[in-house]
Structure 1
């Protein structure tokens, strides 16, 4: 008599003591969850967090045996980070938990002890134009980084949207690029002349694959091997990751930051929108540039900050006003 295996039986793990199976492994469950995500930017962001979950439990750990301490070990990496960073990684674990419960492979909620953090009220997050121009034009930084920073500022796009771009998405003639935005919508963002001058130099004739490439060739096999769409067919190098791009920008900008802490890639979006607001652009114009669904969401981006305060103070200075023009 032939025996037919049930679907998913090969994903089960035998218990070392009894020989019984304990269900799907965490590694397999994570892979299936990521495959279920349609938004590329979400999948890339969640993959970084969930890779730490697999590393913390081990590849053969049953997903049904996940516990709060496993999730705590993952989030411990960002324990001292700002609230925004903590809140960016936590949804990956929560979404994975919800998916696993719906698949009936996880009965508990290992994320029950984790909570979103309330971000501190921050003042002006924009970077002055002068400092940005110094950073953008410093040839001591690699071409890839200078183009990435300039493109983020020109387009006011989210870093995830730009880092997931492929060469095929670029429209060099009309200086625009097709991005997959939050929610999965296909939209276009536009760049200016400085970006247009740098792009051909970085592409160097490439017609497909990721726009921004990592420094090394991507592994062709094993757990660290990226998807084929994230590898350049010409150079064999993988796509530049968000953590690496963030680290390089933070390190480079620390020299210009008065507090020597460096800036984040997201501050380039803040700066671009705030500088446009300072130049007198209307709220609908800013909404068209930022692609926010609601005007109210623009408030934290276009709050006129330090530069405006300094200019108003100088204009109101009684000594300044008495000087001959």
Structure 2
């Protein structure tokens, strides 16, 4: 029996993600990005901050992507969000939409490609603030009297080389502690002895839920995948992780950012 194409954009998003083969954490990130573009197609500004995850995207027909002004709406949204969004994040979200549009077109659900003329944002030139930490800097960082959560996150970012967003999207049941890697079916992440020493202490007593948690209980309306079922605390955000890193490294001097951990060796 032939499967009928979806009429609504949100349903098409669900079908795309279900067939993507992505791990749960990655599907959640893709869904947030695709929901954000739904606001653009509806010619409405997307929510920002904590409200972005909790807001329900507008219900609209998938055929709106075939409308003659769909490209202009997406271009306007790209320009508007470019003023306050990291270009790497914006480019990743644009790539997510392009991949979904290509998948929908391949199935004949839409005809046009309103993303064809959209251009990625230019990335800032590399500088000292993005250069990998030196061995001496790493030793100074890991010698700080920082909480277990921060030390585990820093070691994992350093040893795995994984994107910060990928690491923060991990859940405790994604981990294969014995083999120092994530379990099959999840975004591949491998780590070394420093992380292996700290992770069991961080996840003690927690069999599922976000790996890295905030200090406070999750606000009302926080999606279940972003809330720990044991403590009620929320998943640690990139913004908060960056703030904590800046706070703890303040005594070491300027220019310390989380992204410098990825390429550090």
Could you state the TM-score of these two structures normalised by the residue count of structure 2?
Answer: 0.69
How far is the alpha carbon of 1:91 from its aligned partner? 0.3
Q: Is 1:235 the equivalent of 2:231?
A: yes
Gaps in structure 2 of 5+ consecutive residues: 43-56
Gaps in structure 1 of 5+ consecutive residues: 1-5, 12-22, 273-325
Which position in structure 1 is the counterpart of 2:155?
150
Question: Within 2, Cα distance between the matches of 1:105 and 1:219?
Answer: 37
Question: Within 2, Cα distance between the matches of 1:72 and 1:249?
Answer: 34
How many positions carry a matched residue from both structures? Answer: 239
Deviation per residue, 1:222-276 (Å, 9 max, x gap):
xx6345xx654323445444555456546665775635xx5243x312113xxxx
Matches within 5 A, 1:51-200: 51-56=35-40, 57=42, 58-66=57-65, 67-75=70-78, 76-79=80-83, 83-117=87-121, 119=123, 122=126, 125-139=131-145, 142-173=147-178, 176-178=180-182, 189-193=190-194, 195-200=195-200
How far is the alpha carbon of 1:109 from its aligned partner? 2.1
Which position in structure 2 is the counterpart of 1:299?
none
Matches within 5 A, 1:288-307: none
How far is the alpha carbon of 1:148 from its aligned partner? 0.8
Q: Is 1:271 the equivalent of 2:247?
A: no
Question: Within 2, Cα distance between the matches of 1:101 and 1:145?
Answer: 44
> Residue 190 of structure 1: SS of its match in structure 2?
coil
Question: Within 2, Cα distance between the matches of 1:95 and 1:254?
Answer: 40
- Equivalent residue for 2:31, pick from 47, 53, 67: 47
Which position in structure 1 is the counterpart of 2:48?
none
* Larger RCO, structure (CA 8 Å, separation 6 or more): 2
Contact 1:168–1:207 under 8 Å retained in 2: yes
Deviation per residue, 1:16-59 (Å, 9 max, x gap):
xxxxxxx42x3333333223321226424322322322344352
Cα distance 1:63–1:171, how it changes in 2: closer, same or farther (>3 A)? Answer: closer
